[in-house]
Structure 1
Amino acid sequence: MSEAKIQEIRSDIEEINDLLKQAKRKKVQDLLSLEIRKLETELITLKEKETLTPMEVSPIPTTSTSAPVQKKYQVKLNVYGWDQSDKFVKVFVELKNVHTLPKEQVYCKLTDKSMELHVDNLENKDYLLVINKLLEPINVADSHWKQKTDKVVIFLAKSNPNTTWSHMTEIEKKFEDQRNNRLKPAETDKKDPQDSIMSLMKNMYETGDDEMKRMISKAWYEGQQRKKTDIMDL
């Protein structure tokens, strides 16, 4: 089912890209570009959910026969919720049966601008959630986490209490600011449509992960090939 969904999103992206090349009005081009970015983000999310990195666990030696090699998997998480109070930013991660694990198997590695949640050996899987470049610094010493029913809650203590975080990370804020700037009429009217598209693609490439960069490079290469074909046809 996931593979069919992934293929459907890819087809949507290709078709919208074709429409983007035909669009002439600036506002239409911006709307199409935003839709492409949403679909690409959804595609990456689906792919990451399916990412399982196998890793072997050494068997426990016995006096009679060797125990079979067990396989464990590392699952990288990218879905979480968050909220905040005057003192804390609270991160919510849902994992079925996580409350049944010993406390030493659920832990966080924190710096003033990042957090990693580790959940070890939950139903033969190791789970990892990494959030880098937090919007504001945190107080590591005052931060903590709790296991609840089917959920882990991380309490990130704000270094500057009583401040409100508009976003969880610097990258999210940057995306939002750039999107708002692109949609300002005073600015968009002055920009060439092609420049706007190139700026969007460049930003997505610079801030995206490896999969996003690969997709953008592929789209750029195919676009160049189409241009060469059109010239030869003339």
Structure 2
Amino acid sequence: MDPTEQINQLEADLLELGSLLEKAERKRVQEVLKQEQKKVEKELVVKRQQKEQQARREADPSAASKATYTVKITNYAWDQSEKFVKIYLTLKDVHQIPAENVEVNFTEGSFSVLVKNLDGKNHQMTVLNLLFPIDEKESCKKIKTDMVLVMCKKQAAKKWECLTKVEKQSKEKDKPNVDDNADPSDGLMTMLKKIYSEGDDEMKRTINKAWSESQEKKIRGEGMMDL
């Protein structure tokens, strides 16, 4: 099967998975479909890149012997409007190369960028698992001075708190678990117990002394500190 047919098959798989996901009601089934959808998206990105490389080799058989290598794009920023998520890729002199050397491919949940033969190198960036689905047909690129602007069209006018689902999961994992109804003194007690268990002998003596003094004050009615 040639690369074009493989890409067509993967695109058809992606469409059918999306249709099945919309109809699925069981959470477990939804998760399985989402995982398969991510796998197909990754494979589609790879096949598209392979097809591009094959086309370049066929167009210029000597290209394989040229000293062009690929580097990852790491210098970027992003923001958003009501309709678009905008990714700004800083690439010096990118506006001076042919526009067709800047290739951007979109799927519903990802995008990839390949800038060919800029300063003797290819520059590449792939972002998978976008936070929310995008409209791949309405998404586009714009080339500006020393910059490529990738414009991902939102399917829904939601505010994105980050670019990918992985970033969101990381933020939620790092977020402290705060119970608004918890007694503040419980948190203090937990902290003191932790300090006591991890502290050296001097720290333990200090805490024991503070505990004893606070209990004496409570008995005399002079303070309410309860460690």
**Which one of 120, 127, 133 corresponds to residue 137 of structure 1?**
133
Partners of 2:65 and 2:139 lie apart in 1 by 38
Please give the secondary structure, in 1, of the residue aligned with 2:117: coil
Instruction: Provide structure 2 residue ranges, at least 5 long, that are not aligned to the other structure.
Output: 1-56, 195-227
What letter matches 2:156 in structure 1? N
**SS of structure 2 residue aligned to 1:120:** strand
Q: Distance in 2 between matches of 1:82 and 1:70?
A: 34
Q: CA RMSD in A?
A: 2.8
Deviation at 1:102, TM superposition (A): 1.0
> Which protein has the larger Cα radius of gyration, Structure 1 or Structure 2?
2
TM-score of the aligned structures, taking structure 2 as reference length: 0.51
3-state DSSP of counterpart to 2:92: coil
1:178 maps to 173
What amino acid does structure 2 have at the position aligned with 1:169? Answer: T
Q: Which of 83, 87, 110 is equivalent to 1:114?
A: 110
Contact 1:58 1:70 in 2 (8 A): no
**Alignment partners' CA distance in 1, 2:84 and 2:137:** 13
What letter matches 1:111 in structure 2? T
The aligned counterpart of 2:121 is 125
What letter is aligned with 2:171? E
Q: For residue 154 of structure 1, what is the aligned residue in structure 2?
A: 150
CA apart distance, 1:58? 5.0
Give the superposition deviation at 1:79. Answer: 3.2
Give matches, 1:1-234, under 5 Å.
Answer: 58-59=61-62, 69-161=65-157, 163-181=158-176, 184=178, 189=190
The offset of 1:69, in angstroms, is 4.0
Q: Does the residue aligned with 1:167 lie in a helix, a strand or coil?
A: coil
Percent sequence identity over aligned pairs: 32
Unpaired runs of 5+ in structure 1? 1-55, 61-67, 194-234
TM superposition shift of 1:124: 1.3
